[in-house]
């Protein structure tokens, strides 16, 4: 194949893009970077950049030859690579047609990198290459092209539509609606029908259903416009190549350790904006946890583990003594009191602090890896139990809050069980509670389910028990923030009422959680500390000024209302907990 295959990158990340005028109104802190603002995204940063020129990469160019052309020194390729890191993920992997920034000011100091590190020539996006992958590059052809190049089927339609819309008019760029569909609907140049003249079944948006049937592939040579679409499709993906995958979706990592700091997906602005936080201090991490930018019991545990590594690194830089370091680590562990994972994983990594920073980082990263791996085991075990308890399906499942990749890494816990059912063809639909007052179900779970093509409906929290009583669900599946030694479950407020309704309706109430969420040191639910959050989360904007709120973040579901708890290691049925 004459052209490099497009990596399976985050075209779907553009689905939550905001219009440029909306971006301008978003107040960002210096530690925040927007990673998906428009189709050809670049990071919005707060510092001034030097005056720049632009250069369109030509076939045969390397970063070294470009540096030689502009600065007279091929070793200055590293400077160009740094400036263009938003569009180049590998200095030996550039494409003809990419537009690079070339600062007018040369590097402040001579580069020490060798020229051989950036000698690979750019790959031309040529018409023959496009022809080899797909004959008629209409919308159908581009969908096929995206999949041939390694992209997921779920994002093929959006990838094709972005490419087509980008090439329709030189001045117009598509924005996206709340459903992720392009708002650019004029001057389309892709064929609305198959070659036979019959209307082609358009692939639905991934927010509503899986990709549908495509039109037939043909061998006719592509037009110039189609080849341009192909180029734009690849380049759109390249500009988002710095993003990472979670689950089957292309997005930034929910949580990562990069170059000595934490990167975390800011969950307070989803689904309307995809934004990562660059967390470099303990203060910033505690703020991210308490504000729910980082949330979900398993993710909190992983973040706490990375937080210990962050504290050690900050302490070395600022000259902390052992007392100060211990206090800062304690602040991380206490940032949210109900989720046991946070304190437990902080303690586990803190135990190796005396062995050096490298050992601390290794221990923290092991926690992150284990958190993701655990979720897959929970998902499969929980799905197998529900198929056994409820029949082969397809099942209707009711869930609460957010327990997917955003909260747990991997597939998630309760939402992971739902994903496993869906993958097995054993799921009919999901009912999602809003999860007031911060709407994690409406904002986050619906967002994840939509991107996975899983049919779902949103319900008011207060309506949930009645819906269960009317036979709208075959099972209820929730996560947990802490499970006491006797099986009592602390979870997002509103869980208890679902358990009561499930018992009355005679359907399973399943709790999916990792073993790390089970706290043998807490004898019963009455001993679990319940977080009381700010009045304003409930009172704003509707209540009169001065109204006080009773805003408990969690409730306790007694063990005798829980049909089963599924972990990565076992299935614990009602009555199997120690007295």
* pLDDT number for residue 279: 96
> Is there a single domain that holds both residue 75 and residue 215?
no
pLDDT tens, the chain, 579 aa long: 333 333 322 332 322 233 333 322 333 333 333 333 222 222 223 334 446 688 878 777 777 788 888 888 877 777 887 787 766 756 666 766 677 888 887 776 544 333 334 444 444 333 333 333 333 444 555 555 555 545 555 455 545 544 444 333 333 223 333 333 222 222 222 222 222 222 223 223 223 333 333 333 333 333 334 444 444 454 444 333 333 333 444 446 899 999 999 999 999 999 988 889 999 999 999 999 999 999 999 999 999 999 999 999 999 999 999 999 999 999 999 999 998 999 999 999 999 999 999 999 999 999 998 998 899 899 999 999 999 999 877 999 999 999 999 999 889 999 999 999 998 899 999 999 999 999 999 999 999 999 889 999 999 999 999 999 999 999 999 999 999 999 999 999 999 999 999 999 999 999 999 999 999 999 999 999 999 999 999 999 899 999 999 999 999 999 999 999 999 999 999 999 986
Same domain, residue pair 231 and 288: no
Cα torsion at 480, 537, 266, 348 (round to 10°)?
-40
Residues β-bridged to residue 398: 431, 476
In sequence order, which residues have a C-beta less than 8 Å from that of residue 475 and are 6 or more positions away? 386, 389, 390, 395, 396, 397, 398, 502, 507, 508, 509, 510
DSSP string, 38-77: SSS-----SSPPPPEEEEEPPTT--HHHHHHHHHS-GGGH
3-state DSSP of 386-437:
HHHHHCCCCEEEEECCCCCHHHHCCCCCHHHHHHHHHHCCCEEEEEEECCCC
Domain boundary among 243, 275, 291: 243
Other beta carbons less than 10 A from residue 219's beta carbon: 8
Domain assignment present for residue 551? The answer is: yes
Residue 379, φ and ψ in degrees, nearest 5: -60, -50
Q: What is the predicted pLDDT for the residue at 344?
A: 94
Q: State whether residue 134 is helix, strand or coil.
A: coil
- H or E segment at 223? none
> Any idea what DSSP says for residue 118?
G
Question: In b/e form, how buried is each residue of 320-350, taking b as 16+ CB within 10 angstroms?
Answer: beeeebeebbebbbebbbbbbbbbbbbebbb
Q: Does 381 lie in the same domain as 455?
A: yes
Q: Indicate whether 312 and 287 sit together in one domain.
A: yes
> What are the residues facing 103 on neighbouring strands?
52
Decide if 579 is inside a domain. Answer: no
What pLDDT score was predicted for residue 144? 57
CB 294 within 8 A of CB 269: no
Which are the catalytic amino acids?
Answer: 481
Counting every residue, how long is the chain?
579
Q: CA–CA separation, 512 vs 4, rounded Å?
A: 42
468 touches 398 (CB < 8 A): yes
Q: Is 500 helix (H, G, I), strand (E, B) or coil?
A: helix
pLDDT at res. 273: 85
> CA geometry: angle at 566 spanning 560 and 567, to 5°?
130
Give dist(CA 277, CA 255) in Å, integer: 10
Handedness of CA 517, 521, 525, 531 (dihedral sign): negative
Instruction: Find, among 50, 87, 52, the residue nearest to 70 by Cα.
Output: 52
pLDDT score for 448: 94
82/102 Cα distance (integer angstroms): 11
Residue 51 domain-assigned?
A: no
Within this chain, do residues 445 and 495 fall inside the same structural domain, yes or no?
A: yes
Output the CA–CA distances (angstroms, integers) from residue 400 to 327, 461, 513, in the order listed: 35, 9, 14
Cα end-to-end distance, the chain, whole Å: 66
The span from the CA of 304 to the CA of 342, in Å, is 6
Q: For position 539, which CATH number holds? A: 3.40.50.10470
Secondary structure string (H, E, C) spanning 281-334: CHHHHHHHHHCCCCCCHHHHHHHHHHHHHHHHHHHHHHCCCHHHHHHHHHHHHC
438 with 329, same domain: the answer is: no
**Residue 36 φ/ψ, nearest 5 degrees:** -145, 95
Distance, C-alpha 248 to centroid of its chain? 10
Q: How is 509-560 classified by DSSP, letter by letter?
A: EEEE--GGGEETT--SGGGS---B--THHHHTTTSPTT-----BSEEEE-GG
User: Are 30 and 156 in a shared domain?
Assistant: yes
The domain total for the chain is 4
| Cβ–Cβ < 8 Å for 167, 137 | no
CATH code assigned at 356: 1.20.120.420
Residue 358 counted as domain residue: yes
Last residue of a domain, one of 370, 394, 419: 370
Beta bridge partners of 429: 396
Domain match, 254 and 394 both: no
Helix axes 297-318, 340-350, angle to 10 degrees: 40
pLDDT, residue 142, reads 54
Regarding whether 224 and 115 lie in a shared domain, the answer is: no
Identify the CA nearest to 402 among candidates 436, 368, 435: 435
Domain boundary among 219, 243, 267: 243
Question: Residue 93 domain-assigned?
Answer: yes
**Residues spanned by the domain of 292:** 250-370
Q: Which pTM value belongs to this model?
A: 0.60
| Beta pairing class for 255-258 and 509-512 | unpaired
In the chain, count of helices (H) and strands (E)? 19, 19
Distance CA 17, CA 312 (A): 36
């Amino acid at each position: 194949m004459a052209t490099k295959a497009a990596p399976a990158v985050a075209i779907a990340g553009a689905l939550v893009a905001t219009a440029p005028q909306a971006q301008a109104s978003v107040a960002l802190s210096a530690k925040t970077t927007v990673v998906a603002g428009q189709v050809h995204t670049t990071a919005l940063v707060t510092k001034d950049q030097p005056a720049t020129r632009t250069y369109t990469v030509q076939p045969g160019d390397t970063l070294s030859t470009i540096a030689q052309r502009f600065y007279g020194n091929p070793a200055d390729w590293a400077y160009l690579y740094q400036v263009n890191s938003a569009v180049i993920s590998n200095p030996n992997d550039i494409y003809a047609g990419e537009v690079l920034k070339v600062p007018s000011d040369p590097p402040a100091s001579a580069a020490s990198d060798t020229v051989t590190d950036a000698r690979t020539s750019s790959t031309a996006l040529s018409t023959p290459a496009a022809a080899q992958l797909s004959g008629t590059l209409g919308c159908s052809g581009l969908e096929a092209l995206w999949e041939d190049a390694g992209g997921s089927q779920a994002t093929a339609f959006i990838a094709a539509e972005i490419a087509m819309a980008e090439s329709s008019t030189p001045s117009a760029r598509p924005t996206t609606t709340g459903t992720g569909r392009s708002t650019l609907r004029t001057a389309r140049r892709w064929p609305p029908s198959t070659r036979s003249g019959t209307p082609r079944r358009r692939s639905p948006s991934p927010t509503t259903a899986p990709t549908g049937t495509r039109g037939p592939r043909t061998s006719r040579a592509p037009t110039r416009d189609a080849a341009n679409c192909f180029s734009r499709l690849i380049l759109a993906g390249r500009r988002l190549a710095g993003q990472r995958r979670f689950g089957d979706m292309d997005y930034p990592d929910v949580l990562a350790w990069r170059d000595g700091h934490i990167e975390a997906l800011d969950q307070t602005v989803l689904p309307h904006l995809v934004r990562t936080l660059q967390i470099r201090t303990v203060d910033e991490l505690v703020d991210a946890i308490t504000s729910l930018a980082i949330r979900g019991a398993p993710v909190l545990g992983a973040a706490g583990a990375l937080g210990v590594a962050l504290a050690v690194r900050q302490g070395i830089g600022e000259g902390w003594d052992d007392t100060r370091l211990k206090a800062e680590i304690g602040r991380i562990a206490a940032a949210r009191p109900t989720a046991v994972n946070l304190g437990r994983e902080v303690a586990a990594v803190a135990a190796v602090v005396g062995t050096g920073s490298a050992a601390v980082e290794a221990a923290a990263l092991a926690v992150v890896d284990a958190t993701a791996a655990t979720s897959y085991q929970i998902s499969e075990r929980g799905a197998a139990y529900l198929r056994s308890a409820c029949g082969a399906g397809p099942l209707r499942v009711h869930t609460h809050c957010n327990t997917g990749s955003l909260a747990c890494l991997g597939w998630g816990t309760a939402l992971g069980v739902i994903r496993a059912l869906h993958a097995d063809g054993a799921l009919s639909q999901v009912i999602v509670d809003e999860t007031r007052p911060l709407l994690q179900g409406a904002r986050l779970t619906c967002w994840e389910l939509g991107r996975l093509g899983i049919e779902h409906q949103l319900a008011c929290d207060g309506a949930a028990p009645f819906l269960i009583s009317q036979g709208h669900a075959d099972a209820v599946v929730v996560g947990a923030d802490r499970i006491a030694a006797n099986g009592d479950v602390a979870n997002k407020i509103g869980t208890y009422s679902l358990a009561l309704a499930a018992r009355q309706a005679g359907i399973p109430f399943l709790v999916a959680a990792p073993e790390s969420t089970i706290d043998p040191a807490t004898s019963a639910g009455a001993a679990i500390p319940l977080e009381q959050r700010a009045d304003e989360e409930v009172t704003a904007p509707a209540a009169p000024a001065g109204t006080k709120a009773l805003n408990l973040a969690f409730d306790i579901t007694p063990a005798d209302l829980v049909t089963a708890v599924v972990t990565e290691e076992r299935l614990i049925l009602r009555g199997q907990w120690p007295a």
